[in-house]
Chain A
Amino acid sequence: MSDWEWFHEVRQKAYQAKDTQRIRLIDLYYEGQGFSEKEPDRAIAIYEQAHALAEQLGEGWVMLAIDERHLRTLMYEKANYLGALDLAVRATVELRKPVYRRYPRRFMIPIYLVQIYRALDARQYASDLKALLDYLIVEVPEDDKETQYELHSKRILFAMTMEEWDNALELGLRYLALCGEDMAEAVRVYVLLCRVASNRREWKSVEEWAQAGAEGARQVNRMDILCECQAWLAFLARRDNNEADAKRYYEEAIATAKSVGERPIFFYYNILASFHVNGEEWEKASLVRQHQIEHVGGTGQVMDELYYRVEHIKALGKLGQPIAEEHRAARDLLGQVSNPAPYDTELADLEKQYLSPPSPPLPPAAQAVSDGLEQVKKQVVRWIAGLFKG
């Protein structure tokens, strides 16, 4: 039985039998789906109603299909990974029952579980997640394309989180091959490949993937992906000292991101922040980080929140603004992550740099010399960077 054939059968039977409860159940599923992007809170409320009704009617398969949609809304529209964890574990426990042995989408929820734990704290659960991915690679049927897509994307994301860049690149290229002409899926790979290439410092590749991603995203109307690609192009143009293109791409990215609405697009903001840092636009960089912190707080993505806070401290420091409060918030988060050491060191450095007592002001003449030297230093750094690019 194909992925959704059974669902259409339930629907058809319900309509034939004029079974109002089951018609309501199926309608709730579609209603939830319709609201998922526009009004995720409403979609979640609908999914909760639908889950209860499915349970009451003994429609286990439909119940899990609803849970799957509910999970996607929690993760991709609300970035609520703690809520998603509760639901995913419940669904996983339910899935063990014999009635689901032939359920065509039975691997989706374990795949989402990988995504959730990766977002919560990948390093703490690394060995469990690795084992689960290995298990899924064996179990997921090769011809089940949708599940294979999900599995591939989670494998790449996991490799990226573990900083296994060669592996991530290889997985990304395999994923792209799997997509074939399916542009709706391929655009998801392009942005992942941009991220992988940027971590490998392969800027030409980043540009190629971003161009391909932007073109594809326009074709399939994926504004969340388009804005990320445009942000990459802006970042690269600024990196190449092509300020005219940088500004153009930046404005395009901002306009595109506006059309995405409330959907969380964390990585787009990461690129945007780096873009501002490269241009020494500390005020803007700080605003972007603030925005990210506001959106990620309370969702369970502690590692991400910690990263945003550390980057925010750097921007505040450059602006000469107080960092004490942000520093304290970041320190509080350290206790919640499995591998605090790198951030611990970084926070200590930032503390030294920005929280130590201020040095007395220089006399005006000395200040002028100091400013001049700072300018010369910047020019030398740019010149050296140019040499390497060449």
Chain B
Amino acid sequence: MEEQSKQPFKLHMPGLLKVLAEHLYSNKQVAIRELIQNAHDSCMRRSVEEENQFYRPRIDLAIDRAERVLRISDNGSGLSAEDISDYLSTIGRSYTRELREMLSILSQEEAYQLIGQFGFGFLSAFLIAEEVTVITKSHQPGSEALRWHSTGDEYYEVTPATRREVGSTIELKIKPSAAFVLQPQLLQESARRFADFLPIPIYLDGDPVPVNLTTPPWEASDPQRATLDYIERAFNIEDPICILPLHEQVTDLGHDTVELPIKGFLFVPPDSTVSVREYGDVKVFIRKMFICDDERELLPPWARFVRGVIDCPALQPTASREALHQDETYALVRDAIEQQLIALLRRLARDEPDTWKQIVLGHSDIITSWAAKNNDFFEQVADLLPVRTSRGKLTLPDYLQLTGGTIYYTTRELGSLQDKLLAEGHDVPVVEAAWFGVEPFLHRYAQRHLSVGLVPMDGDAKNLMRPVPEESYQTLLDAYRELGVRAKIVAFKPMEVPAMMIYPKNADFIIETRDALERDELPGPLAGLVSDYMQNRMQVSAEELKGTLYLNASCPLIRQFSEMTFDDAKNKAALTLIHQIARLFAGRTLTPADVAGAFRTTTTAIEELLP
């Protein structure tokens, strides 16, 4: 090519719309958001440019289901022929952005009230509409009404129109595939979701009550009440434990300071039905326009018991305005929220200890697991968190008072009463650390308090029993043998318990599976594999499966037994009763046959003991 020449880009409108529809926006409802936002900005423009104290901006939504038409009207600034050419029909150029840049020098507050940014939001109308018509009249003196019309191809038409009032009406001929937007309920939900906080009232089908709140709760005359109402309306949560308001913050960058215009609130939901449920999400608004739900990165990871709403114009939305750019400002906002949250929780712990306790108790499982991962947070909650012990829930300071400074814990669930008694082999309560977050928390606690010892009590509960020479108890052991009971003599605490029945691990499962195999209850191909598993991994004799009675030599009754003979029926009956009681406390699931057998034996024993 000999001559170089500058050529303009060409725009293929249908291709661009396809990109918008299929790749930019995640759903078609965003078209409603974009058009409401344009209407809002138009009203804001009019109030900035036309100093009229009687001006009352409004947006109206009207559905004509028969014609498949949705109308969005505003009494904003309207569009002149120049505006139409320069902004409405120029993709990527936004009057709002230009006005905001201008206003940011004159009035930061007014600048923040404008939402539009990218200059192609209007195109999203074609996500739901096959034809778009705009009837508009500019607020500039001497303006005539105009009609702009497009079917989403390369061309648009502008013709004179009839309209008395200043403002615009966008008429969307809805595509059959998007007819869902014509449902009043859905339209109302969309308007609320996206524009609840916009200051301009939005009316639906002539209803005199606006669908949106028009004021965010933190700007209401009674912020506390309004916030509670909003939490119920938007999160479906009644009676949160507490509300933590957020505020603007000046952040020191070292070389400079930056003002972060954060507004909103965080709250702690009441303890949920699921104690492991994790929240840690916020709804994000930018200039009062909704951006996204469930934003989790803006809160610190440990704050999974917190939810909230944040409005911060400094945050940058992505082009689709359905997510946020994780840029430097985002990081600053995140840090500022973390600082504010820590300060609020500290103040709560100091000034409202009961509320703080309610939070910690209501979300203890989540808080325990996150405290183990974060030093600052750990310091705040470590002494308040209740841990499950064999004597109920206790805080660690209370627990350590009982144990003299050592944490005894087991990572299995303390199911039966016998489990708990055995776990208390050191005569102190034992912490149940079955939930996976508890053990790291205990370790951190012990690291942090050097005087605190940590003793894992896992393994065979029998380890907690001290061996005792059998000679003095031989008669007693022989008597049990005659009754068909495997018995051993040991010593354990508490001394009030005369005996415990201990079964091999998985005894119930082994018995059930062996029975099932014997009765051919498993399909052939499965029976082989299950049988192999039982042989290789569950080798327990039938005798062992009956359990072993551990007699407690520390118990006065057993010591008394050691001096007795068991030839007569009465003494034998006493042995039987001890055995049956120990069986009942062993925490095994009893079958009807077990129960019947136990009652038969016990009844006979009682009959023997009766005079």
Could you list which residues of chain A lie within 8 angstroms of chain B, going by C-beta atoms?
A: 20, 23-24, 27-28, 31, 41-42, 44-46, 49, 52, 85-86, 89-90, 92-93, 96, 110, 113, 117, 125, 128-129, 131-132, 134-135
- Known contacts being A20-B273, A23-B273, A31-B277, is A92 close to B522, with CB within 8 Å? yes
Which of B273, B513, B524, B532 has the most chain A CB atoms closer than 10 A to its own CB? B273
B529 close to chain A: CB less than 8 A: yes
Taking A44-B436, A85-B533, A89-B533 as given, write out 11 further A-B residue pairs in contact, using a Cβ cutoff of 8 Å, ordered by the A residue number: A20-B273, A23-B273, A23-B274, A24-B274, A27-B273, A45-B435, A89-B530, A90-B509, A96-B522, A117-B529, A132-B526
Q: Which residues of A contact B533 (CB under 8 A)?
A: 85, 89
Q: Which residues of A contact B436 (CB under 8 A)?
A: 41-42, 44-45
B523 close to chain A: CB less than 8 A: yes
- Known contacts being A45-B435, A93-B512, A93-B513, is A132 close to B273, with CB within 8 Å? no
Q: Which residues of B contact A125 (CB under 8 A)?
A: 529, 532
Instruction: Decide if the interface of chain A is mainly helix, strand, loop or mixed.
Output: helix
Distance, CA A90 to CA B116, complexed state (A): 60
Could you list which residues of chain B lie within 8 angstroms of chain A, going by C-beta atoms?
A: 272-274, 276-278, 369, 413, 435-437, 509, 512-513, 516, 521-526, 528-530, 532-533, 537
- Nearest B residue to A48 via CB reads B434
- Nearest B residue to A127 via CB reads B528
Partner of A27, one of B277, B522, B528, B530: B277
> Are A135 and B522 touching (Cβ within 8 A)?
no
> Are B525 and A132 touching (Cβ within 8 A)?
yes
- Nearest B residue to A132 via CB reads B525
Which of B509, B512, B521, B526 has the most chain A CB atoms closer than 10 A to its own CB? B526
| Interchain Cβ contacts under 8 Å between A and B, 17 examples | A27-B272, A27-B274, A42-B369, A42-B437, A44-B436, A45-B437, A85-B533, A89-B513, A90-B509, A92-B526, A93-B512, A93-B513, A93-B522, A93-B530, A96-B516, A131-B525, A132-B529
Q: Which residues of A contact B529 (CB under 8 A)?
A: 89, 113, 117, 125, 128-129, 132
Q: Which residues of B contact A52 (CB under 8 A)?
A: 413
Q: Which residues of A contact B369 (CB under 8 A)?
A: 42
Distance, CA A93 to CA B512, complexed state (A): 8
A38 to chain B minimum Cβ distance, whole angstroms, is: 11
Distance, CA A363 to CA B372, complexed state (A): 62
Partner of B274, one of A28, A85, A134, A135: A28
A338 to chain B minimum Cβ distance, whole angstroms, is: 12
Q: Which residues of A contact B528 (CB under 8 A)?
A: 128, 131
- Known contacts being A45-B436, A49-B276, is A131 close to B522, with CB within 8 Å? no
B271 to chain A minimum Cβ distance, whole angstroms, is: 11
> Are B276 and A46 touching (Cβ within 8 A)?
yes
Distance, CA A92 to CA B533, complexed state (A): 12
Q: Which residues of A contact B521 (CB under 8 A)?
A: 96
A117 to chain B minimum Cβ distance, whole angstroms, is: 6
Distance, CA A49 to CA B435, complexed state (A): 9
Which of B369, B524, B533 has the most chain A CB atoms closer than 10 A to its own CB? B533
Distance, CA A54 to CA B182, complexed state (A): 44
A219 to chain B minimum Cβ distance, whole angstroms, is: 13
> Are A135 and B509 touching (Cβ within 8 A)?
no
Distance, CA A96 to CA B276, complexed state (A): 32
> Are B277 and A113 touching (Cβ within 8 A)?
no
Distance, CA A167 to CA B528, complexed state (A): 25
A104 to chain B minimum Cβ distance, whole angstroms, is: 18
Distance, CA A85 to CA B413, complexed state (A): 21
Which of A27, A31, A96, A131 has the most chain B CB atoms closer than 10 A to its own CB? A96
A268 to chain B minimum Cβ distance, whole angstroms, is: 28
- Nearest A residue to B528 via CB reads A128
Q: Which residues of A contact B278 (CB under 8 A)?
A: 31
Distance, CA A33 to CA B573, complexed state (A): 53
Distance, CA A42 to CA B304, complexed state (A): 14
Partner of B525, one of A23, A86, A96, A134: A134
> Are A31 and B276 touching (Cβ within 8 A)?
yes
Distance, CA A178 to CA B516, complexed state (A): 36
B552 to chain A minimum Cβ distance, whole angstroms, is: 30
> Are B526 and A113 touching (Cβ within 8 A)?
yes
- Nearest A residue to B278 via CB reads A31
Q: Which residues of A contact B274 (CB under 8 A)?
A: 23-24, 27-28, 31
Which of A24, A86, A90, A128 has the most chain B CB atoms closer than 10 A to its own CB? A128
Distance, CA A41 to CA B440, complexed state (A): 13
> Are B276 and A131 touching (Cβ within 8 A)?
no
Distance, CA A134 to CA B273, complexed state (A): 44
Distance, CA A24 to CA B365, complexed state (A): 14
Which of A20, A44, A46, A93 has the most chain B CB atoms closer than 10 A to its own CB? A93
Q: Which residues of B contact A89 (CB under 8 A)?
A: 513, 529-530, 533
Distance, CA A41 to CA B373, complexed state (A): 15
Distance, CA A28 to CA B516, complexed state (A): 30
Distance, CA A85 to CA B528, complexed state (A): 14
Distance, CA A31 to CA B523, complexed state (A): 34
- Known contacts being A24-B273, A41-B436, is A93 close to B532, with CB within 8 Å? no
- Nearest A residue to B538 via CB reads A89
Partner of A93, one of B413, B516, B537: B516
Q: Which residues of B contact A45 (CB under 8 A)?
A: 435-437
Q: Which residues of B contact A110 (CB under 8 A)?
A: 526
Distance, CA A23 to CA B530, complexed state (A): 34
> Are B276 and A135 touching (Cβ within 8 A)?
no
- Nearest A residue to B415 via CB reads A52
Partner of B524, one of A42, A93, A135: A135
